[in-house]
Structure formats: C-alpha cells, structure tokens
Structure 1
Amino acid sequence: MPGSSTYEIPRIAPLRWISTIDPALPPEVRKRLGAMFFSDPKPFVLGALNSIAVILVAFHRIGDPIFLVLAAAEVLILAARLVTLRNKGMRTDAFFAVGLAWALNQAATITTVVLFHDIPTTIIVLASSLAAIGSIIGRNFAAPRYAMAQVLMIDLSFKASFGFLYPEFIPLIAIQGIMFVLMNMTMIEQQRRLTVRAITAEIESRTQSFRDPLTGLLNRRGLENAFERLRTKGVQPALLYLDLDGFKQVNDSLGHRAGDILLQQVSHRLTATVGPDAVACRLGGDEFLVLFQENGAEAVRHLGARLIVAIGTPYEIEPGALARVGVSIGATLGGSNADLTSMMVLADKELYAAKAAGKGLCLLNEAGLAGTGLPTDRPLRA
C-alpha cells in the first residue's frame, strides 16, 4: 500500500475512534491525509533498527534477558508493519493496532531501562524516544488521537518509572506532563492545519485548471478528461455542439456585464437540463459542448429539443430587464473508436448546417465517425 491514495476506515470501534480524521474535512482531503499513513516504509525500518540497537546495548550493559524479548518483539512488530503496508487487501485495523503495539514496546523498553538504574543507558533510550516522538508527530498528525496515544505511551513510561524511583519529583513531573501534552497537541494541530491548507490549495488549483472561471462549467481540458473517463468505461459517447443565437445583440445592447450574467444563467439551465449523467463544457464565447453516453439517436434528438426550449426561455438579467437568446445545436454519435476532436468536427458541421437552415435547430449526424461527416438528419425544431 505504499504511495496508495486509498484509505479505509477501521472497522473495530476503538481503532476507528482513535484513528479518526476530522470528519468536517472534504472527502478528498481526508482521503489524502489517510494515505499519508501508508507512505514510504523507510522510517519504520530505520526506527526499528535504532530501537533494536539501543535494546541490545542495554542487554550488553545490564545483562537481563528481558531485553532480548523486547528486541524480538521489535523485530516482529517491524515485520507486521511491513506486511500491513504492502498487503493492499488488508484492512487498516491491523495497521493501527500494530502501531499501538510498537509504541507499547517502546514504553516497555524505557520503563525497564529506567528501573535498572543504568544512567548512561537511560540517557540513550530517552534520546531515542524523543526522536520517535518527533517522527510520530511528523507522520501521524492526520489522526490526532492516534498520534497522541503513541506519544503518551512513550512519554508517560519514563515519567511513571522515574516518579516511582524518585517520588519527590512527582509534582514537577506532573507539571511537565501537562505542558508536554499541550505542546504536542499544538504541534500536531499546526502540522495538520498546514497540510490541510496545502492539500486544499492543490485541489482548488487542479479544479480551476479544468473549469471555466465565468460559468463554472468544464473547459476544453476538463472535457477531454471527462471524455477519457467515458471511453475507459467502454461506452459509446455522443456530443452536442451548441451555439447561442442572438447573444451578440444582447451583449451589444445591454453591455458585457449583462452578457456575462446571461452566459451564467444559460450554463445553469444547461446543466439542469442535461442532468448528472452528462457533462457540460463552455468552449469559449457563446459556444458550449455536452458530452454523454449514447443511448440511441432518438434520445439525442430529445435532449437537443429540450435544450432548445430551456435555453430559449427569456432571461431576467436584472429587475425589469429581460433578454432572449436561442440556440442552434449540432450533434454526432461517437462510435466505438471515437476521439473527441473528430466528434467536435462532425458536430460543428451539423451546427453550421443548423445555422444555415434557420437557427433554433438540432441536427444529428447518426453515422458518426463511420459516416461521411455530411448532415444526415432532418431539421428539428422545438
């Protein structure tokens, strides 16, 4: 699962609660944050090697076999972590459970070393634990409860064992513990906020690159992506090429601002008419495209007729100021080997013929790319 953008919420209730990512965030942001848990496994490997080295040093100095048990547990936890990262079919429950087990093993190591009164080893293991806490904050900030659970297990293991040996320091340890928790919560929240802001900005930038800034419809680039997604599904596309009739007169008589408002209202009617299964694009000026899955020639004609009626209804640009435009439409069926550019050429020919035949018409090239590209339909008036 390294580098995967997928993230499945754990099914076990305690793990689901502890690994919660802010539900108020947009789904794509939450998905991206969740994917960070399953990124590069190198920190896990390097961290485990460091922990094993520290534990073996402790065993060498102290000689108690408990350290061999702790070292073996570290090896098993690392193996389990790598399995949860690489097995894409495994639920995230195992990943978070293993992460908590790792923090618990770190806590056990710290407690054992401190209780043996070996000062040099205590200093070494504390330095290692501080590095581990920094890594936790940097990697697991997306789920604050999960990150804090790991941090607290590691930090409290030292404070509890030290307080057991030197109870006179318990008041100071308690104050430090509160300050430490508040500091780490602040760092986690700051890291989370900065990352969410960066992800959101990236998503907005990507969205804007596929959208027409005036109408919010897809632009040419966005339509090309939509076309590729349609073709990937193995369905045959149909395309409508729309050009407004009389828009220039509205723009000249009422001004460019009125023209922009009109285009926005036309876009709203366009999307409302074609429905959620089609995608609408503003090609530029007063030209629009509608891409959808072909469902027979009659369905295409019917949609064209509905658009002529919807777009031809008068618009209230401002109180007391009405504007009216019509629309001419050229349509084509794509066939199994369609490409967007060729379909646009064929639909544009039908649009030109509709304009020449009197405007307010929808002409369909039923032959699609297999035909000659000449008009093959009779004029259709709404």
Structure 2
Amino acid sequence: MTTTMDGMRAFRAAARITMVAALAGLFTAGANAEDGVSKTAVTLGQSLAMTGPGATLALPFAQGARLYFERVNAGGGVNGRKIELTTLDDMGNPDTTVANTKKLLDQKVFSLFGYYGSPQVTAVNPLLKDTDILLFAPMAGADELRGSLYPNVYSVRPGYSEEAAMITRHAETLGMRKLAILHGKDLESLAALDSAERTMGGMGANLVAKSALSGGSVATSVDQVLAKKPESVLVISDASGAANAIRDLRAKGFRGPIYGFSSTGESLLAEQLGAAGAGVVVVRVTPKSDNAKSVLVRELQADALAAKLGKSNVYMLEGYIAAWTYTEALRKAGKDPTRAKLRKALDSLQDLNLGGFRVHFDGDRVGSKLVELSLIDAMGRVRE
C-alpha cells in the first residue's frame, strides 16, 4: 500500500512538473514568436502616395506588388503562409510617412515594403536603423539610401548616380559635353540633382547652367539655360513639369538631346508630350514593360489583365519585381521566418532569375544595377 501511495505521489509530482514545463514552453513560444508572423500569414507594412502628385508613379508600383503577392497567395502562399500587405496613404508627405510607419510598427508588421520617395525613406530611417526591421525595395533613387547610414534599407533599383553616369556616357558618344540641367524644387528632384552634379562633373561633363522649375517660371528657367548654349539638357522633374519644360525647349529651337531620369516617368512623359517628345531619352531601371519576349513581362501583363488594371508600365513592373524578389527571400528564410533569417536570405541571394530579370544581392543592399535608356519617338511611343 505504501509503495502504491508513493507511486501515486511520484506520478502526480511528475505530472505537475510536466504541466509546468508545458505551460512554460507555451509562454516561451509566445514570447519568441516573430512579430508579423502567424501560422497562416506574414504581414508587411507599406506607406506611399496613393493620392496626390506622387500617385502617378507610386500607385502603379503598389498595384504591381499586390498583383504578384496575390499570385503567390492563390498558390498557397510561402510555406503555407499568405503574404498580407497593409498599405497606408501618405500623399507624398514625409511627415505623414513617419506617422504611418509608427502605426505599422505598432501593428507589429514583419517588415516594411515598397515605400515611395527618397525624402520619405530618409524621414523614417531613424525609426529603423537601430532595430531589426527591414525596409525592402523602396521606389527611391537617392544615393545616400544605399550607404552605411541606412543599414536596414534594401533596394532593388540602382541609385541616381548610375542613371547620371548612363546619361553622361550617352551624351559623350554624341559629342555633347556641354550640359544644362532644369530641375524641380521638390525634395526628390533635389536628391536627383545632387547625384547628377556630382556624377556628371566627375565624369568630365561641363555643366554650363542649371535652373529650377516652379510654377510660371518654366519659360524663364528655359531662357536662362539656353542663354548658356548647352549641347544637351537634363530635365529632372515629374512628368508634368518635365513635359512643360521640354515643350518650351523645343518651341525655342533647342534641337539637342534632352534627357530625363527614371523619376520623370517614362510612359507618363510620352503620353503628355506626344509628337513633341520625339528624341527625348528617359532612363528606366526595369526591362521594357511591353517586351513580349520577357517571361517576367508576360506574367505581369496576364495578371494585370485578369485584375482589369489596364496596360502595364515600368512602375507596375518595378513593384512586381520587388514583390517577386521579397517572396523568394521569404521562401529562402525557411518555414519559421524571422527578421534575422530574412536579412540572411537577402544577403545571400545570388543571380536570382525572375523570368529573365536578374537580381543579385550577395552582401550588397542593392539588388540590380540595370540602367537602360528609352527613346520617345515622333508618335509619342516609348522605344528602346
């Protein structure tokens, strides 16, 4: 009897120990669960200009990203988890971007994704740089974002310095070394202007004039640069401002090459200029968005058609590329993703083939160096 009672006591004690251990395991698991990751979903946060002037580029970028995530989710997600993208509108205002980012961080998102605008990324960096939260694939070209002061920002697109270098080399092949710059006064244009001046000057271009575009001063700005007799002109502005400047340049007899950065808005600029855009050269950092030979482009076009979004463009394609790249990194992070595993997965991505478009991080926080030039023809169409 004593033996039986002793055995019961031992059994109960062991059971209590097992229950305590199990409860401790549950609490530990809860404490160690990664923010933004559940059994069924990984939640990302995004702030960009869904309305306002920046929406002409930001909105199709966001649409392209969501198209790819929806494609992945329809196939079961990544390791059984769907990718959920929470998007907040900042109307292109950096202060609103900061407020939105604080909301997203309070919601415990896994990472941030696809912001729009260099000033916006600069504004939120203090919230991120001393944390383990990554901001992946912002649609922003400022060179500083790729430097050591932004350790948690991973870009797919190259910076404005690469765009400026491509333009400088192209102008040089035409024998055009005397350059003028017309630029907007918004912060994104000023970031691009800084890169252009440093890069082009360093490559031997002769910057003979620069002038700011604002409101009714377009004609005055054009007159100022033409007075210096440039051989080529770089216009740094959104599509509307650039179109006004280019029309005035042509109306006043300038026949040299006119260039625009990717932020100018390739297809938007072509639509606004029509025949007046003949000979304008615009940088793009993605493949051509109507290249039927590209598997990447064909998949985007099919998804956009199914979603009734109309004709795809380079901004939608950039968002699609960003989402595809993120998905592959998340897949590589394994069945139980953490922010540390995601960073490690990104750092080790080598020669990732996205339907013919190559992404290569491998320790560098810039996944693509692709910079190509598009030409607007006399019919207002974009050609390579």
- Range into which the TM-score falls when normalised by the shorter chain: under 0.3
Bigger Cα Rg = 1
Normalising by the residue count of structure 1, what TM-score does the alignment of the two structures yield?
Answer: 0.27
Q: Which has the higher contact order (CA 8 A, sep 6+)?
A: 2
Normalising by the residue count of structure 2, what TM-score does the alignment of the two structures yield?
Answer: 0.27
Larger helix proportion, structure 1 or 2? 1
Larger strand proportion, structure 1 or 2? 2
